Structure 1
């Protein structure tokens, strides 16, 4: 039974790309075993709330399972799972019911200065071993780039991510002519009827992203999609993400796991969730930059394949604490 004797929370601003902020949580039990968790782009009050409440929730408290820790924070929940599974010598993927030892990866490509440049980038990724590419599209950057990529690569599996940016489905129906596998996040969150109408008109699967299992209900009732875009970092706990997986699978949906930002720990949890039986679509942990990661080995794809660490306990990655502390902008520690 874990009992935390020391906890530490660090605020890290990652040095590359969009300079994403992460909160990292380190839990140490009385035997010296540690567990780590990460929240990417946390809500503004997360830091103060953890500083005020976390000590009372965890320090010197016996708990039998991560679900019994009432933190309500994804980084704390992840750290509890990491510690709990490390103490038992089992991988996180195995503990939550994962079955895959490797995952196919998609690579996500943002809009470019020109269509020619985009096609060149697609070529680079295909040469690197990717057989699945997700193109970010927006109003004004959609049909023409997709048409060009499809003309250059007739057999490539393509998906598009609309970033919830569309209010009209006309352009998205036009995209369906280019053999897309998935149209991700077409309309603003909660516009269930627009999603249902689009799904009725296209052969591609519409994918929706939710932040709680209950949010799935309306989409399921109206058959407004066929894919759940499951971003574990968006859920308050790993068990809640697992429940969303189970509900989508029961409805016959496919699932794509995603989570490419952060310092590496959140990506590792995404891979663990991605090993679940219902996660049938390529996993997305490929968003650059990899240089932000403070874990070993780096979480990412090799030749379009992501390894699931089924031979190591917990998240399956070690933390480079020296580099982490160089990146930390602030921290606090509580000791029992």
Structure 2
């Protein structure tokens, strides 16, 4: 009886906690971590410094900036370069047009490409392979500028805000990304279950598939938004109305005028009072325009970055 009690006591005794010593890194591992950290810090500096350089030169004395004396710290800080940008004629309307085309164009492009890519996964669709190959062919074959101009003329898109929206609503590349994402990440059983419950193709797309496409949709949104915001060639080719000019085109004209003015200064064709009145240099205008163009993209990219890598990786597995 005593032995039985002793056995129970032995069983009920708590196990001794084993102290696990922290693993010591070897000398080679420490050297590797140090070199790795140094490399990534250097890489970060190489990526970030050009933007920092541009910014400090836009707020520094223009003469010092033109002489190449602003490298790490700003000197003679002022914000006249940015104030000059806001004095450009039609700059407010151009900014509004650029924002409108970016928001509307991005939303419609993402929606159309998402639906088209989803439809390319439907095996029941008649002529699906032909349609898919037809769209992919457009990635390699283009009609050219003149036929496109004639087509836009017949469609009434010249001097029309829709010329910024309609031509880019469908992209074969974006369609391929969505198609691949649907095939690799969204189980077909979800659509089958919805169809058994009586859901149609539009219900399946908007209520079942679309909410699961967030990573690839964010990727498409980044691609499209950057393209819409930076594009100004469509303004050059198809738009003559000043109230439809985009911010990129207005800044491009401003940069061209500033460069021409700087050439006149260098050639001695301007009077001394005109030269004194022209505080800006060609380089200060270029750098300020660059910052105005890049800042909006910097502002929105962090909100989409966490989806970007996953979306583009999954969408690029196969075509």
TM-score by length of 2: 0.22
Tell which structure's C-alpha radius of gyration is larger: 2
Higher normalized contact order (CA 8 Å, seq sep 6+, divided by chain length): 2
Task: Give the structure with the higher percent strand.
Answer: 1
